Structure 1
Amino acid sequence: MKQATNTILMVRPVNFRMNEQTAVNNYFQENLEMMNNEINSKAQNEFDAFASKLREKGVNVVVVEDTLNPDTPDSIFPNNWVSFHENGNVGIYPMFAENRRNERRDDILETLEEKGFLIENIVDYTSAEAEELYLEGTGSIILDREHKKAYCALSARADEELFIEFCEDFEYTPVVFTANQTVNGERLPIYHTNVMMCIADAFAVICLDTIDDKKEKKNVVEHLKQDGKEIIAITEAQMHQFAGNMLQVEGMGGQAYLVMSTSAFNSLTPEQRKAIEKHCPIIHSSLETIETCGGGSARCMMAEVFLPKK
């Protein structure tokens, strides 16, 4: 099983802005002093430039346009509501913010089927929303697809029991921990695992400083080492520049790339860049508006498609 895929699903925003419903526990979001239509048009420009950079390298980017109704300010982050797997399974996930639940669209799955991808089975966890339990896709879950391990930092958006259920359904070994960030002098849970760690084929980029519990930290490190991953540690300050929010993808001729935002790239030290580039080249694109208002970055914008072809 490969860790990276050549096909990425992306949703182009039509009404992107800061989502007031997610800001309650996403401490990466900030208010920009500009009109929403200006924010949206900047976000669209960043989106288009990013998608075209991926395509230039031979990544198959499937772009779906968002719709104006219902109102979905965070639709640009599809990896939170859906995941696509090599056996034809699709995971559909329960979302913390009510207005994010409208992002789940059957027509997006139909678009992939029209493009020749095979969907065998839909595993739907959304009924957990009735109990106020959430698990936000590959935002909450970081998959080592090759070694069948799933990493999850527990938070209001990542329920432990649901995560274990996912691991049983998809046959992954769970690695559970808590990751915190300092907010106004307090240590509070990081909203998504994918802002503090990224797993690639031969390495992992991770903010170990966020795992306050020594045993949990040791366990995560042991799992990564056991699977032969080189650990590239980032600081909490770098994490706030979205240096943990990266994804390895496959371009032309099977060439792997690590994808990140320009702010993430700029936050890395020359040594860290070298450590990454020893394994694969980097693609970075400016996502400033999307990061500031959305509190998510490059990784969040890409839903990996591992589905088999018909």
Structure 2
Amino acid sequence: RIYYLSLEFYMGRTLQNTMVNLGLQNACDEAIYQLGLDLEELEEIEEDAGLGNGGLGRLAACFLDSMATLGLAAYAAYGYGIRYEFGIFNQKIVDGWQVEEADDWLRYGNPWEKARPEYMLPVHFYGRLDHTPEGVRWVDTQVVLAMPYDTPVPGYKNNTVNTMRLWSAKAPNDFNLQEFNVGDYIEAVLDRNLAENISRVLYPNDNFFEGKELRLKQEYFVVAATLQDIIRRFKSSKFGCRDPVRTCFETFPDKVAIQLNDTHPALSIPELMRILVDVEKVDWDKAWEIRPPAPYPNHTVLPEALERWPVSMFEKLLPRHLEIIYALNQMHLD
């Protein structure tokens, strides 16, 4: 299975693309004409899924189309990203100047997606580490739930339909009834809003990057949810050896291919090591050996556009991952 991780998917409108790929455009055009309607006018009504800033996000969308059309890992090539409530801004020109307006693209819902609450997953932040003889435990964390929404990605006239799975952040306790009952209406929903801000808005283009905690949360959120999903799918497949106690990961790198879009999902590497070592109890050296490679293209080499995080912020938000990154760095230096 192929897994493509990207913080952006600039899919645009889906109706015409789907009709063309399924070979239905002429039939639909004729049927709509018989009803006295214009297909092009209907296509214009569809909201643009502008979940990307430009080249990087559009490239990701093209890759999904290409993987489906080429039939790579037929029915098993997945795109993973974030279901931003607000995508790239809508542009208006007022008195010759650009004015940006919020892109509330989900105002009337999205007919192309299907919510999959049965695959909702927890994502952890903050907390502290317990070093025990059995291993490292990450405890007292704040939990945000990742709710998946699946969108079909049809190949061109080849009977292949892949999946784009976008994660939406949900609070585990969305309403504090006790605080509401004593009259604190704002506090009752504050925690929910803080959690759900993770998938609220697409960051504007990073031509000049400043380290932002919310951006780091977004990057870890998509990585943590996706890798849990990848490992769940692997463990439920027929490829793992039949150890009655725990899963064997010997075939993991043969059955799982991970591709990152730029460095935004780079936390995939320490997160995968954390899951294998801390959760699945795989030996550290073995975990590094069986981890699938996670190649990425670099879309810019401008230093002001590359993401760098203060160690203090990183340690507070993801303490276990900083330990793992130090350990990986020491391996590299050695």
TM-score with structure 2 setting the length: 0.27
Bigger Rg, structure 1 or 2: 2
The structure carrying a bigger helix percent of its residues is: 2
TM-score with structure 1 setting the length: 0.28
